[in-house]
Amino acid sequence: MATVRVQNVSKWFPRRDGESLHVLQNIELDVPEKTIVAIVGESGSGKSTLLNIIAGLVKPDRGCVLLNGVKSSEFTDWRSMTYMFQDDRLLPWRTAAANVAFGLEAAHVSRAERKQRVAETLALVGLSDFADLYPHELSGGMRSRVALARSLVTRPTLLLMDEPFSKLDPTIRAQMHAEVLRIASLMAMTVIFVTHDPEEAVVLANKVVLLNPRPGRVRETRTIDLPYPRDPSAPEVNEQARALRRSL
Amino acid sequence: MPVAPPTPLAQERAETRTPTHLARERRLRLIAQRLALIVLLLIVWQVASLNAPAFVLPSPKRVWEAWSGLVVTANFWKDFGITFSRVFTGFAFAAVIGVLFGLLLGANEKLGEFFEPVLTIINTVSSTIWAIFALIWFGLSNWTTIFVVFMTAMPLILTNVWQGTRSVNVDFIELAQTFRMSRLQVMQKIYLPTILPPFFSAARLAFGFGARVSLVAETLGASSGIGYRLRQAADLVQTDQVFAWTLTLVALMIALEALILKPIENRLFSWKKRAGDQ
């Protein structure tokens, strides 16, 4: 299980001219267990910074983040969450299987168990037959699946994604969306992801948080009540996406 | 009689066989070319030697005889061993120090900026000058040659490792951080694999340079080793022996490259995208 609460978080970044840039202002966010939350905003709204603060990679200047009710400064179970980047970041010198294993290498998992879990996770994303290929031998979609598998191999309860799959072409992207939804429900994960694409937010999320830019503030939070799977070309999905785009 | 179209299976088999077939053909052609080149060079050498006295250009036959005479002596192998142990020692020092300092300078930008000119200075000094310094400092000892090899090989390795650390992909370090990897793990899993290719190509180059300058050092400041024997043979106008030593060296370096270094490189870097892949 995983819950996230962002309480009154503010963040400033130092600028080169000595001034500081106000990136986030009094952010409040409540993510119950097993929800899929989209953080939507234009560039400069601090959405990636917010995700990095939740991930514990960046410290907030004010406020705090509660992970499973524990302040992130006192939180220790970091391996229960994983972070997916915009690009796949596969290590070119490792095979697909070895790239997936990378996720487990920081955790102290025995070699035998590691091998078994890598095989399991590759099967989960449908890449069992490609375990021994190097990244340059894989297609863009397959590479994304490997990156997803690397994030899942630690069996996280919280999955954070920063504009995932945004570099893929639309068909493959839609496939990856379906994969994430299937796996998130299978593994009972809580998912928080950042996107600038309203359609992606509506297809994936139960809850959408809209950020205003400079400094990033929560403008509104909406619930998306449509049943899964959501067809991106369905009128109700389109309508919600349009409404979201209008408020951006 | 009409020819039946090939079955899909047969077609597929023919296609999958083609690349290996082509590769074998290419390799055979390469071997034939090399052999033809050797024969051509031997003919040119033979013809040229007909019009020159033996102390200027000995004939291939004469060199062959000199070589066969040399190979059976114990000293030949002893001198070879001495020279190569000096080269290996100098190279080993260069590799260890080059890698350590390359990593250090790469990890600390300010330190790198401060020490960069030292490399330029070392690189501009000719090996012969190092040999003279070495002679002054170490006299007629193994260390003269080792020092010259070291001074030639070390900057090459250091520079490449240093550049290698600079080329480490920050994205990969970030990735390791999201998995909460320790500093040591980042070194081992991200830095090391990134540095390995530039280190290896530098090491190959450095070893070649080292082996060549070791002879310069030995002709100036040693009483044993191939360089010393070369000078001795030249002093006694035994040109056929000079040729015999030289050809042995060339053969040895080529063998080292083809039988040891190339296979290691292929094995280590099999993950790299090969030219000609889609």
Strand partners, A210: A40, A220
Q: Under DSSP, is residue B124 helix (H, G, I), strand (E, B) or coil? A: helix
CB A6 within 8 A of CB A27: yes
Q: Under DSSP, is residue A122 helix (H, G, I), strand (E, B) or coil? A: helix
d(CA B153, CA B170): 29
**In this predicted structure, what is the pLDDT of residue B1?**
45
Mean pLDDT, rounded, of chain B: 85
Mean pLDDT, rounded, of chain A: 89
pLDDT greater than 50 at residue B10: no
**In this predicted structure, what is the pLDDT of residue A90?**
94
Overall domain count for chain B: 1
Tens digits of residue pLDDT in A55-67: 988 999 999 999 9
Q: What is the pLDDT along chain A (248 residues), one digit of tens a residue?
A: 588 998 888 899 888 888 888 888 888 899 998 999 999 988 878 889 999 999 988 999 999 999 988 888 888 888 889 999 988 999 999 999 999 999 899 888 888 999 999 999 999 888 899 999 999 999 888 999 999 999 999 889 999 999 988 888 888 888 889 888 998 888 899 999 999 888 899 999 999 999 988 888 888 888 888 888 888 888 888 888 888 888 87
Residue B172 lies in a domain: yes
Q: What percent of chain B has pLDDT over 90?
A: 31
pLDDT greater than 50 at residue B6: no
Partner-chain residue, chosen from B185, B193, B271, that has the shortest CB–CB distance to A106: B185
Is the Cβ of B176 closer than 8 Å to some Cβ of chain A? yes
Residue of B nearest to A78 (CA): B180
Per the model's pLDDT, the better-predicted residue between A229 and B89 turns out to be B89
Chain B: nearest CA to A111, how far in angstroms? 16
Is the Cβ of A106 closer than 8 Å to some Cβ of chain B? yes
Chain A: nearest CA to B267, how far in angstroms? 12
Using pLDDT thresholds of 50, 70 and 90, give the confidence band for residue B276.
Answer: very low
Residue B33 lies in a domain: no
Residue B221 lies in a domain: yes
- Helix pair angle (B239-256, B192-221), 10° resolution: 170
**In this predicted structure, what is the pLDDT of residue A207?**
92
**In this predicted structure, what is the pLDDT of residue B11?**
46
Chain B positions in Cβ-Cβ contact with residue A91 (cut-off 8 Å) = 172, 189-190, 193
**In this predicted structure, what is the pLDDT of residue B277?**
44
pLDDT greater than 70 at residue B87: yes
Q: Under DSSP, is residue B30 helix (H, G, I), strand (E, B) or coil? A: helix
Per the model's pLDDT, the better-predicted residue between B235 and A167 turns out to be B235
Tens digits of residue pLDDT in B182-230: 888 888 899 888 888 888 889 988 998 898 899 888 988 888 899 999 9
Tens digits of residue pLDDT in A123-171: 988 889 999 999 999 988 899 999 999 999 988 999 999 998 888 888 8
Is the Cβ of A167 closer than 8 Å to some Cβ of chain B? no
A105–B185 CB contact, under 8 Å: yes
Residue type, position B256, single letter = L
CB B217 within 8 A of CB B211: no
Chain A positions in Cβ-Cβ contact with residue B180 (cut-off 8 Å) = 78-79, 106
Using pLDDT thresholds of 50, 70 and 90, give the confidence band for residue B14.
Answer: very low
Domain A4-247, what fold?
A: Rossmann fold (3.40.50)
The DSSP annotation for B195-231 comes to: HHHHHHHHHHHHHHHHHHHHHHHHHHH-SSSHHHHHH
> Shortest CA distance to A163 belongs to which of A201, A193, A142?
A193
**In this predicted structure, what is the pLDDT of residue B12?**
45
**In this predicted structure, what is the pLDDT of residue B278?**
38
Q: What is the mean pLDDT of residues B126-145?
A: 89
Partner-chain residue, chosen from B185, B271, B277, that has the shortest CB–CB distance to A92: B271
d(CA B256, CA B253): 5
Is the Cβ of B278 closer than 8 Å to some Cβ of chain A? no
Substitution target in A72, A75, A91 with the highest count of B β-carbons within 10 Å is A91
Strand partners, A221: A209
**In this predicted structure, what is the pLDDT of residue B16?**
52
CB A38 within 8 A of CB A195: yes
Chain A: nearest CA to B57, how far in angstroms? 51
Q: Could you report how far apart the first and last alpha carbons of chain A are, in Å?
A: 32
B174–A78 CB contact, under 8 Å: no
Substitution target in B179, B181, B268 with the highest count of A β-carbons within 10 Å is B179
> What is the torsion angle, in degrees rounded to the nearest 10, for the CA atoms of residue B39, residue B43, residue B48 and residue B50?
130
Query: Per-domain residue ranges for chain A?
Result: 4-247
CATH of the domain at B179: 1.10.3720.10
pLDDT greater than 70 at residue B275: no
